[in-house]
Amino acid sequence: MSTDTAPLDGALASSETHITPTKAYAPSGIRWRMMVTIAWRMMFHNKLKMAGTLIGVVFAVVLSNQQAGTFLGLIKKNTMFVDYSGADLWIVSPSTLTLQATKPMGISALYTARSTKGVAWAEPLLYGGASIQLPAGGTEPIQFVGTAAPRYAGGPWNVVAGSKSALERPNTMIFEDSERERLGGLNVGSIREVNGFKVNVGGITWGLLPFGPSFAFAEYELARRMLKIDSDQTHFVLIGLEPGANPEAVKKAIMERAPEVKVVGREEFRSMIVSFLLRRTPIGITFGTSTVFALIVGFVIVSLSMFSAVVDNIREFGTLKAIGATNGDLAKIVITQSITFALMGSLIGLAAITRIAAAIRSPKLGVLLPTQMLVGTTFIMIGMCVAASALALLRLRKVEPGMVFR
């Protein structure tokens, strides 16, 4: 029976009629377990507040990953040509800052490369802007690539209709699938006019859409004529090394023999492109700012929620302190809650962003979510939530156990 009027006389009569105080104090492990239990109970007791805090973390996870993933997607779009070119080294003109149409350089660099020890192959590459005449009138820009047969280094990849070998046929080009409608609904076998030349569509690629006009490929000689480049000039030279060759040594050897050009490795060229994007375009600032703002907004929401949770439970914290818990114990509660919010919010947020990324994935917009970024996000969220609990921790330090009597 447990009513208010239960007769308690005798109930407390026990054999414990002499008090022997003990100064036993729970070891760290037991205190941690207890504080973790209290932390979780407090969190789940107020589900509305918990949902509010989680929304803050999920918002930060989804938005920051969406922005960072889109940024990585754009970087990937701009560096994929270098990644898929198959070249270990690139000969470029000294003024080259990124992969873009530059002033042509002498073709002698190609022969210099081919006669350098350690070089397995070297091929010229033309890279410039062109325009395609649309059937209904008007023109559209394309990123024109001239690649030399039969290796087609820097040539088309992801060919989904026709074949790369179609470029061997006269006046034949390969275009990008995702831009077919924009380029006038072209198909394999269509005829189009590019830079004033009638060309046949010999193949279609998928996903070869940089941050700008889509790639269109032609055999080197055709491209040279269409871009009006002299036969003794080229834009780039792509180099494949012999197995075991030292890239740095080959690079040095070529530059000694052809001081008028610059030789860069694949990774170096990638870095140059990324650096160009970050420094010379607003991409870095735009995406960086929105990623940071997503984190700041999440930080503020979590910070205020956790502070408010401490204020709401201030009497309970005061009671815990009065009955023997230390500031360290109360900090364990808040830190446990912040880490739990971070892990739960990251789990929900990452599940959401991976589904969103899959749903919106297209050649035009790719949200890249590498595993390292997803794992890193979780750690960043833990750091953010623990930092966000600083206000709450400061408030807890000021909790006087004596408040329980007021």
Contact flag: residue 398 with another protein (CB under 8 A): no
Residue 375 sits at the vertex; the CA angle it makes with 77 and 78, to the nearest 5 degrees, is: 10
Contact flag: residue 381 with another protein (CB under 8 A): no
- Please state the closest distance from residue 24 (CB atom) to another protein, in A: 5
- Please state the closest distance from residue 306 (CB atom) to another protein, in A: 16
The helix (H) or strand (E) run that includes residue 133 is strand 119-133
Question: For another protein, which is the closer residue by CB, 138 or 324?
Answer: 324
* Burial of 306 per CB tally in 10 Å (0-12, 13-18, 19+): buried
Contact flag: residue 28 with another protein (CB under 8 A): no
Which of 6, 48, 136, 359 is the binder for another protein (CB under 8 A)?
6
Contact flag: residue 5 with another protein (CB under 8 A): yes
Comparing CA positions, the residue from 260, 168, 176, 272 lying closest to residue 222 is 168
Which of 145, 245, 320, 388 is the binder for another protein (CB under 8 A)?
320
Alpha carbons 220 and 235: distance in angstroms, whole number: 11
- Please state the closest distance from residue 157 (CB atom) to another protein, in A: 59
Contact flag: residue 48 with another protein (CB under 8 A): no
Q: In the block, which residue shows the tokens 């997803």?
A: 374
Question: For another protein, which is the closer residue by CB, 34 or 356?
Answer: 34
Question: For another protein, which is the closer residue by CB, 6 or 359?
Answer: 6
How many CB atoms are closer than 10 A to CB 253? Answer: 18
Question: For another protein, which is the closer residue by CB, 188 or 322?
Answer: 322
Interacting positions 321-350 with another protein (CB under 8 A): 321-326
Tell me the CB-side half-sphere exposure of residue 17, using CA atoms within 13 A.
3
Cβ neighbours of residue 242 closer than 8 Å, sequence gap 6 or more: 118, 119, 120
* Burial of 12 per CB tally in 10 Å (0-12, 13-18, 19+): exposed
Question: For another protein, which is the closer residue by CB, 28 or 372?
Answer: 28
CA distance to 134, 149, 195, 336, per residue, from 169 (Å): 22, 11, 18, 68
How many CB atoms are closer than 10 A to CB 345? Answer: 27
Number of chain residues interacting with another protein (CB under 8 A): 51
- Please state the closest distance from residue 39 (CB atom) to another protein, in A: 10
- Please state the closest distance from residue 1 (CB atom) to another protein, in A: 6
Q: What is the torsional sign of CA 152, 158, 163, 167?
A: negative
- Region from 18-26, 67-75, 145-153, 278-286 binding another protein, contact rule CB under 8 A: 18-26
Residues at the contact surface with another protein, assessed by CB under 8 A = 1-2, 4-6, 8-9, 11-14, 16-27, 30-31, 33-34, 37-38, 41-42, 44-46, 315-316, 318-326, 400-402, 404-406
